[in-house]
Amino acid sequence: MEIQLEELIEQIKKDGVEAAESQAEAILVSAKTEAEKIISDAQKKADKIISDAKSENVKTVKSGEDALRQAGRNLLISFRESVTRELKSIVRNNVNAVYSSDEFGKIIMNTVECWANKPEAENISVILNSNDLAKLEDSLLAELKEKMLGGVTLKANDNFDSGFRIATANGTVYYDYSAETVTDMLSDYLSPRVTSLLKEAE
């Protein structure tokens, strides 16, 4: 009887140990599987973070390059506009200086003489602003008379500050030599040449 009891106890111990071992094995397998899943998920998240960071870095670099290029273009445009303004200012100052000098009357006379040789130049008028006309009228009339250009008349018009205009008998303006128009013409003529010089200096 005691032998049977000992065998029964031994059997129970053996079954308990086997069951515990089996359960422990199952727990280890499950823990290993869960650990592998956690590692895999963590790796995927890490890969995504790295991928997103690289993508964002590319975007940031491109955005920075685009901004730099645009800033360069803006600077160049601003510089060219500044040069154009400065050029126009220099031309305007020079034109005004010539139109304020003793040479102004000679310029008018040379222009009138050129016009006098044209077939359509009968009864032409030289139009000046009131101030210039008052200063130059006597000398211009005397020189016109001396050069046998009696068909030329002098008229006042205060629609422009300085310079002069040439018109035919019907009042149609053929050429505008006002300071503003001459400044614009010379600036337009010089601007491409200045731009070309700037390009050569790059």
What is the average per-residue pLDDT within 133-141? 87
Structure tokens at 23: 């359960």
**Closest listed residue to residue 179, CA positions, set 97, 73, 87:** 97
CATH class of 103-201: alpha beta
pTM given for the model: 0.60
Whether 190 has a pLDDT exceeding 70, the answer reads yes
pLDDT in tens, 70-129: 887 888 778 778 888 888 888 889 998 888 888 898 998 888 888 777 766 667 888 899
163-167, strands of its sheet edge to edge: 153-156, 125-128, 163-167, 173-178
Q: What distance in Å separates the CA atoms of residue 116 and residue 118, rounded to the nearest whole number?
A: 6
Q: What's the pLDDT at 128? A: 92
- Domain residue extents for the chain: 103-201
Between 1 and 190, whose confidence is greater?
Answer: 190
Q: What is the DSSP string of 100-111?
A: TSTHHHHHHHHH
What is the average per-residue pLDDT within 134-143? 86
Maximum Cα–Cα distance across the chain? 165
Q: What distance in Å separates the CA atoms of residue 85 and residue 93, rounded to the nearest whole number?
A: 12
Q: What is the mean pLDDT of the chain?
A: 79
Sign of the torsion formed by the C-alpha atoms of 97, 129, 177 and 140: negative
pLDDT band at 187 (very low <50, low <70, confident <90, very high): confident
Q: What distance in Å separates the CA atoms of residue 202 and residue 197, rounded to the nearest whole number?
A: 9
The CB-side HSE value for 187 (13 A sphere, CA atoms) comes to: 20
Q: What distance in Å separates the CA atoms of residue 123 and residue 152, rounded to the nearest whole number?
A: 6
pLDDT in tens, 6-29: 666 666 666 666 666 677 676 667
